Each structure stands twice: as structure tokens, then as C-alpha cells.
Amino acid sequence: MNKELLKEHLRVVPDYPVKGIMFFDVTTLFKNSECLKEIVDGICDIYKDKGITKVAGIESRGFISAAAVAHRLGAGFVPIRKPGKLPAETVSESYAKEYGTDSIELHTDSINEDDVVLIHDDILATGGTASAAVSLVQKFHPKAVFVNFIIDITDVPRTRPIPAEVPVSALLQLSEN
């Protein structure tokens, strides 16, 4: 995988969405076809032999590569969304973020006990969203859960770490400093 290509095309926006946050903008990776291919190929290489049956993409940037990965792995795609965005019955999980609180939801028929689920999002920072997504998916009692990110920001304190028994991978490990 060409990590340098991804790093070259990544936009970093200081003080967004609030002062003191370095925002890693992956939309610059998505608009570049070579970078998007590297992302999807890199994730698929990691999970091609894991028996993934569902890829759960976290709103909203997680949807982009998660859907492409699901297609390539021959798996289904399920969206993890903010409250009120899914039209049928949902299950939810609340969590704290570095600049506020939020909740996420899945449809009650999204995942079953026979599934092997890959949760995907663009960035791992404090771990709040990812940890909540793991808790949410585990409510369905799937066979296995994996978590993947495009970027792991390594120098951000994990205020809500992902459970140790859940395998986590990231294509890039970067620092805010």
C-alpha cells in the first residue's frame, strides 16, 4: 500500500471544528481515484480472509469506503447513523466526544448472530464513536467484530478505548503534532 500517496493528499485543517483540534480531512483522499483505490485495496487486503458478512460504516465519512469495501468483500453494508436518520426500528448507543456528546443507531434487523462484522470509520481519535459503535454492534451478538480506520491519530488520549478483545487496524498512524 502506498502510504506516502495517502499522506501527500491528506488535508489537515487546524482549529476545526473547534480551537485546538487538528482536523484530518479525508475528503481530499476520496476525490483522488488513486487514493480511494489504495484505501479500498488496503482495507480489503487486511480483511479478505476474515469471513466478513457485514461492513458497518459510521456516519458519514465512514460510509464512503465502507460501502466499497463491502462490495469488494461480497458482504452487506449497514449504516451506523445519528439519531432520527434511519426510518425503521433502531437500537442506539450514546457516547462522549472530544467536543460534545452524541448517539448512534442501527436498524434492529441490521445484524444477526451469524454475522462477522467489520466496523469502519475514517478516523480514530479519542475512541468515543468507535467504542460506541462496537458496543452497539455487540448488542446483536455477532460471531466476531473487527474495527478499521483510514487514520489512527496516535497522540490523542483514548477517553473511551475500544475493548481489547476487538481487533483494530488502521491504514495510517499519524500524530496531531
65: CATH: 3.40.50.2020
| Domain with 143 in it | 51-174
By percentage, how much of the chain surpasses pLDDT 90? 85
At residue 17, the pLDDT reads: 86
Q: Is residue 23 assigned to a domain?
A: no
Q: Is residue 30 assigned to a domain?
A: no
And the C-alpha cell for 16? 476545526
The closest of 92, 78, 174, 158 to 125, measured between CA atoms, is 158
Residue 158 a catalytic site member: no
Catalytic residue among 38, 61, 93, 105: 61
Residue 160 a catalytic site member: no
The string of pLDDT tens digits covering residues 42-98 is 999 999 999 999 999 999 999 999 999 999 999 999 999 999 999 999 999 998 766
Q: Is residue 63 assigned to a domain?
A: yes
Is 70 exceeded by the pLDDT of residue 99? no
At residue 101, the pLDDT reads: 83
Q: Is residue 100 assigned to a domain?
A: yes
Is 70 exceeded by the pLDDT of residue 127? yes
Q: Is residue 17 assigned to a domain?
A: no
Domain count for the chain: 1
Residues 6+ apart with CB under 8 A from 24: 10, 11, 12, 122, 123, 151, 153, 174
Q: Is residue 154 assigned to a domain?
A: yes
Q: Is residue 145 assigned to a domain?
A: yes
Higher-pLDDT residue of 58 and 1 is 58
Catalytic residue among 59, 98, 160, 176: 98
pTM higher than 0.75: yes
The string of pLDDT tens digits covering residues 132-151 is 999 999 999 999 999 999 99
At residue 95, the pLDDT reads: 87
Q: Is residue 29 assigned to a domain?
A: no
